[in-house]
Amino acid sequence: MTASLISLISIVVGIISANIFGFITKKYSLGIIGNSISGVFGSVFFIKSIGRIGFNPKAIMQSGEVDLVLLSVNIIISVLGGIVALFLISKLKNKMN
């Protein structure tokens, strides 16, 4: 696996988690496209900000092989990023209406 593939997997996980959260909680759903966009931005923002601690894709591939512990932490951060972004964007949308 390369660092680019790990980044792509993180973004896809963020999209999936935001869509699942939107499907489960209809109150915070922005539709499939809105959920997907918020999942992308949330996962990228969380991975870029929290990844500096050592969970970024380059750190995962630093030894030449995939560090599964760091990869699982990266995926959990992507899931949380997608959910938090969807929650905050839907709250912002409701405040603006």
Cα separation, 43 vs 64, whole angstroms: 24
Contact call for residues 42 and 83 (beta carbons, < 8 A):
yes
Contact call for residues 3 and 74 (beta carbons, < 8 A):
no
Domain boundaries, the chain: 3-96
Query: How does pLDDT run across 76-93, given as a tens digit for each residue?
Result: 999 999 999 999 999 999
Query: How does pLDDT run across 23-53, given as a tens digit for each residue?
Result: 999 898 999 999 999 999 999 998 888 878 8
